[in-house]
Structure 1
Amino acid sequence: MQKFLRPWAKNSGLKSRAKQSRFMEQMYTAIYFAILGPVGLFVMSRTPVWYFNTRGMYEGFPHKTHEAYFKFYYLFQAAYWAQQAIVLSLGMEKPRKDYKELVGHHITTLFLIALSYRFHFTYMGLAVYVTHDISDFFLAVSEIQVREEHQLTDNDENEFNAEQALDYIQRQKQLALDSASNAIASASSKLTNGKTTSAETYQEGTTKRKANGKKA
Structure 2
Amino acid sequence: MEDLLNEWLWRDEYWLPPGIHWQDIEMKEDEGHYPVPRDLIYTLPLAFAFIAFRYVFERTIAVPLSKCLGVKDRIRIRPASIPKLETFYKQNNRQPTQSEVVNLGKQCGLSQRKIQTWFRHRRNQDRPSNTKKFCEASWRFVFYFIAFTAGLASLINAPWSWDLRECWRGYPKQPVSEAHYWYYIMEMGFYVSLLLCVSVDVKRKDFKEQVIHHIATIFLIGFSYCANFVRVGTLVMLLHDSSDVLLESAKMLHYGGWTKICDSLFVVFALVFLWTRLVVFPGRVLHTTLVLSLEFFEPFCGYYFFNALLLVLQALHIFWAYLILRMIYKFMFMGKVERDERSDEESEVDDEEEEDEPDEEGDECSWEQRKGAINSKLASLANNCVLNNLTNQRNINSRLPKAR
Distance 2:245 2:220 in 1: 21
The reply to whether residue 103 of structure 1 matches residue 214 of structure 2 is no
Q: Which runs of 5+ in 1 are unaligned?
A: 154-160, 196-216
User: What value does the CA root-mean-square deviation take over the aligned residues?
Assistant: 3.0
The residue identity in structure 2 corresponding to 1:99 is: F
Identity %: 21
Deviations 1:10-67 (CA, angstroms, capped at 9, x unpaired): 232323261011111111111112211111012213532234x311111111144212
Offset, 1:112? 0.7
Query: Mapping of 1:157-172 within 5 angstroms?
Result: 169=269
Please give the alpha-carbon distance, in whole angstroms, between the structure 1 residues aligned to 2:247 and 2:141: 8
CA contact (8 A) 2:246 2:266 kept: no
Return the offset for 1:135: 1.4
Question: Do the aligned partners of residues 60 and 145 (structure 1) sit closer, same or farther apart at CA in structure 2, a change above 3 Å counting?
Answer: same
User: Relative CO higher for 1 or 2, CA cutoff 8 Å, sep ≥ 6?
Assistant: 1
CA shift for structure 1 position 167:
9.8
The equivalent of 1:214 in structure 2 is none
For the pair 1:148 / 2:256, whether they are aligned, the reply is yes
Greater displacement, 16-25 / 121-130:
16-25
The structure 1 residue matched to 2:292, chosen from 191, 196, 201, is 191
- Residue 147 of structure 1: CA displacement? 2.9
In the comparison of the two structures, how many residue pairs are matched?
Answer: 183
Q: CA shift at 1:92, angstroms?
A: 1.8
Q: Give me the whole-angstrom Cα distance separating, in 2, the residues matched to 1:33 and 1:63.
A: 30
Contact 1:36 1:133 in 2 (8 A): yes
The structure with the largest helix share of the pair is 1
Task: Note the C-alpha offset of 1:169.
Answer: 4.6
Query: Which is worse superposed, 18-27 or 175-184?
Result: 175-184
Q: Is the 8 A contact 1:63 1:121 kept in 2?
A: no
Q: Deviations over 1:122-169 (max 9, x none)?
A: 10000011111121111111222233235x79xxxxxxx97xx96995
Distance in 1 separating the partners of 2:68 and 2:182: 37
Mapping for residues 1-150 of structure 1, pairs under 5 Å: 1-2=57-58, 3-16=60-73, 18-51=129-162, 53-88=163-198, 91-149=199-257
Q: Is residue 43–residue 69 contact of structure 1 (8 Å, CA) maintained in 2?
A: yes
**SS of structure 1 residue aligned to 2:159:** coil
Q: Is the 8 A contact 2:180 2:234 kept in 1?
A: no
TM-score, normalised to structure 1, is: 0.72
User: Please, which of 271, 278, 282 is the counterpart of residue 178 of structure 1?
Assistant: 278
User: Which is worse superposed, 119-128 or 10-19?
Assistant: 10-19
Q: C-alpha displacement at 1:190, in angstroms?
A: 5.6
Question: Greater Rg, structure 1 or structure 2?
Answer: 2
Q: Structure 2: which 5+ residue stretches go unaligned?
A: 1-56, 74-127, 297-404
Residue type of the partner of 2:71? L
Distance 1:32 1:20, change over 3 A: same
Q: Distance in 1 between the 2:274 and 2:214 partners?
A: 15
Shift of 1:194: 6.8
